[in-house]
Chains A and B, each alone.
Chain A
Amino acid sequence: MSGGHHEHHHDDHAHHPELGFWRKYVFSTDHKVIGIWYAVTALVFLMVGFSLMMLMRYQLAYPGREIFGWLMLPETYNSFGAMHGTIMVFLGVVPMVVGGFGNYVMPLQIGAPDMSFPKINMFSYWSYLCGGIVMLASFFVPGGAANSGWTSYTPLSVTATQGQTFWLLGMVFLITSSLLGSVNFIVTIIQLRAKGLEFFRLPFFVWTQFVTAFLLLLAFPPLEAAAVLQLMDRVAGTSFFMPEGLVVSGVPQTYTGGGSPLLWQHLFWFLAHPEVYVLILPGMGIVAEVIANNTRKPLWGYRAMVYSLIFLGFMSFIVWAHHMFMTGMGTKISAFFATTTMIISIPSVVILTALLISLYRGCIRFNVPMLFALAFLPMFAIGGLTGLPLGLPASDIHLHDTYYVIGHFHYVVAPGTIFAIFAGIYHWYPKVTGRMLNSALGKVHFFLSFIFINTVFMPMFFQGMAGVSRRLYDQTLYAHGEAVQGLTIMSSWGAWMLGLSQLPFILNFFMSLRAGKRIAANPWDATTLEWVAPSPPPHGNFATIPVVYRGPYEYSVPGVQTDFFPQHVGAEA
């Protein structure tokens, strides 16, 4: 699928020697090759994270039962849980939507030959891979992988086994990768836009990448600092997060003390809240592209969407302590965070509503990317709405740390972002490979995934309201947990069936590389610049950099012969 690199434009490459295999495909500085590496690596990590969860769900549905002679111990369950979250968020979704889609599509959509800093781009990928390997390696050290949740709350994480140190080191690699990447994205979008491509002519996908990059740039460093502090607590015996007089399993701890576990939570959530917007925004960008293209009309409310996006990015930095309502914070500060949290729901709703209204009187093509994009809308709505009782302290008292929270955030990320990722894969696979994915297999993939993903996560709201805690190895130990064990079994079977439902996709992905229908540059009759370049684009992307004359979604323009008017085509064709 990176075969396009054979098509070097020799007339332009006076002093550009032909690169060897390693420089061309492994240590490449081409944003497209790097994007593919990110996407493939992320898909592998997503599979690993998913597999951990499938094993966990067996323990949850049938507590104490062995899986082929292997019993999952509580410590193992905790490790799997912590690593499932960490892998999905930091090694799976973000590298996929930012490193994968962002790297590959964004420079093409702005008409650039590559990213501003190609070597730094390559370094970002290798830093990510190193971080991922360190994280996975932690499964094999004595004591196993990190087991203090993806949130690594202190003092539990400080006194935890060796795997936690690996987690912290892995995070340092991942954060470095992210910081370098975000500098690259911001500079590229500001500096390398094609002539005529003003900010308000940018595809919404590029806007989401732009705001996301700012979130990553400014929110990650506090977590890097906090990770260093926690490393020092674990390795150098400092007491940044350790109180005086702590006793763990009957053993009095020898820390000097005076530290604050809340300090960790503030620093962690300062990143982790913007992080969840990093998880969703590029997905919204993908959905916007697919919807505009498949309704054959411009996005409704593009400007409102952009302003909402910017406002959302800004607000995301001042809502973080809604994750900390139950830590004994005072009422005034809780009221502050509850207020900002309620306010931040407004731009989300604006974006979702604009996408919905964009469907009205559209000429909808129900192809596979569009099915996933359409499903995203109500799924994200459920995820967003169920966040409201969590963002209000009074109701959060009952729902915090229950399955309700798990249901809420999974709805946003799983049938939310992951569906957006699938939409993006089906939409841009032709650009990357020059071939279409099979539509029938795609529809099977979609319908099965849609049914089973809801089977997994819908019961969780009811479990949460019944009082079942999260991170619980065996809920049947409690009467209130035993009462709703049926829902757990339903979720587990949903998860295994969801896993099986991915087989048509995996089959399709590999089959179509060889046997998919070959296409030219623009199989979807789209307007944005990435469809101008050949499929796949050569090194340097465009023979001549396009000039832009209009906005990104000029579909069904009166007076134009075709139902789409690409951005780069001169005046009235």
Chain B
Amino acid sequence: MSVAVLPYTVKPHPVTGVYSGKLGTWLFLASEVMLFGALFSAYVLLRVGAPATGPAAWPTHDQTHLSWKIGGFNTLVLIVSSVTMVMAWASLKMNNLAKGRMYLGITVALAFVFIIVKLLFEYIPKFNAGHTPSHNNFFALYFTLTGLHALHIIGGIVVITYFIFPGSTLWRKDPEYYTNRIECTGLYWHFVDLVWIFLFPVLYLM
């Protein structure tokens, strides 16, 4: 075999059954589970340990000023974006680059909707009303959890946009390699959706 050419980057390994990028992506997602897990653990400890009265007491549902309608809408936006993401991969697998890029484009658009809704209807009104991270630990956790999640969405937007435009030239050289990269991006994107599936009830409904 040619020196310094790495095997199993496109075709799967005969024994492990996976190509390297996918295994790497899953391992990265495992570390992300631990990252968000630590924040959920912090949520549990801080909520359980909060004093009963006073400014540091855990706010009641009304005092959190979180709208389940906005949260629910955003949840549906992300779920649809997950569907379009997996449809993008399926289209590429069926050799249709144009359809694949279209679905990727819709995914990015939906991601933007999520961010804009968050910013315009949640973050900015909260800051204006004085419900800042320093106000109490609920808001501290709310902003940290959703903020970190939003950063992950933005990261996803950057990567997917790259694959729609400059990255799509890889299709001509090696369509299977390109499709695999979209699969890995999809795994990341579904994970981001998954985190929100837990964040929504925990923050908005409990």
| A pairs with B | yes
**Chain B residues closer than 8 Å to A217, beta-carbon distance:** 27, 30-31
**B38–A191 contact, CB under 8 A?**
no
Provided the pairs A225-B39, A226-B38, A240-B46 are in contact, do residues A256 and B24 lie with their beta carbons within 8 angstroms? no
> Which of A116, A225, A236, A539 sits near B42, CB closer than 8 Å?
A225
Which segment, of B6-14, B62-70, B155-163, faces chain A? B6-14
> A117 in the interface, Cβ–Cβ < 8 Å?
yes
Provided the pairs A179-B31, A258-B51 are in contact, do residues A191 and B8 lie with their beta carbons within 8 angstroms? yes
> A16 in the interface, Cβ–Cβ < 8 Å?
yes
**B134–A239 contact, CB under 8 A?**
yes
> A1 in the interface, Cβ–Cβ < 8 Å?
no
Residue of B35, B36, B55 contacting most chain A CB atoms (<10 Å):
B35
* Interface range, B side: 35 or more
Provided the pairs A117-B24, A239-B140, A266-B45 are in contact, do residues A222 and B38 lie with their beta carbons within 8 angstroms? yes
Q: Closest CB of chain A to B143's CB: distance in Å? A: 8
> Which of A226, A228, A256, A543 sits near B56, CB closer than 8 Å?
A256
Docked CA distance A224–B42 (Å): 13
> Which of B6, B46, B55 sits near A116, CB closer than 8 Å?
B6
**Chain A residues closer than 8 Å to B133, beta-carbon distance:** 232, 236-238
Provided the pairs A117-B24, A217-B31, A258-B56 are in contact, do residues A543 and B3 lie with their beta carbons within 8 angstroms? yes
**B50–A191 contact, CB under 8 A?**
no
Docked CA distance A219–B140 (Å): 24
**A542–B7 contact, CB under 8 A?**
no
> Which of A117, A237, A267, A543 sits near B38, CB closer than 8 Å?
A267
Docked CA distance A240–B32 (Å): 21
**A263–B45 contact, CB under 8 A?**
yes
B43-75 at interface with A (beta carbon < 8 Å): 45-46, 49-51, 54-58
A1-45 at interface with B (beta carbon < 8 Å): 9, 12-14, 16
> B20 in the interface, Cβ–Cβ < 8 Å?
yes
Docked CA distance A259–B139 (Å): 13
> Which of B16, B35, B58 sits near A190, CB closer than 8 Å?
B16
> B96 in the interface, Cβ–Cβ < 8 Å?
no
**A542–B136 contact, CB under 8 A?**
no
> B167 in the interface, Cβ–Cβ < 8 Å?
no
**A258–B23 contact, CB under 8 A?**
no
**A113–B6 contact, CB under 8 A?**
yes
**Chain A residues closer than 8 Å to B148, beta-carbon distance:** 228
**B23–A190 contact, CB under 8 A?**
yes
> B201 in the interface, Cβ–Cβ < 8 Å?
no
Q: Closest CB of chain B to A360's CB: distance in Å? A: 36
> Which of B4, B42, B134 sits near A256, CB closer than 8 Å?
B134
**A540–B3 contact, CB under 8 A?**
yes
> A221 in the interface, Cβ–Cβ < 8 Å?
yes
> B169 in the interface, Cβ–Cβ < 8 Å?
no
| Chain B residue nearest to A264 in the complex (CB) | B42
**Chain A residues closer than 8 Å to B54, beta-carbon distance:** 244, 257
When each residue 528-567 of chain A gets 1 if its CB lies under 8 Å from chain B and 0 otherwise, what string results?
A: 0000000000011111110000000000000000000000
Given A221-B34, A221-B37, list of 19 further CB < 8 A pairs?
A9-B3, A113-B3, A116-B6, A117-B24, A182-B27, A182-B31, A187-B27, A190-B13, A191-B7, A191-B13, A218-B30, A225-B35, A225-B39, A229-B144, A239-B136, A256-B137, A258-B49, A259-B137, A266-B45
**Residue positions of B touching A, CB distance < 8 A:** 1-9, 13, 16, 20, 23-24, 27-28, 30-32, 34-39, 41-42, 45-46, 49-51, 54-58, 132-137, 140, 144, 148
Closest 10 CB pairs of A and B: A258-B56, A540-B3, A237-B134, A222-B38, A540-B4, A221-B35, A225-B38, A238-B140, A221-B34, A257-B56
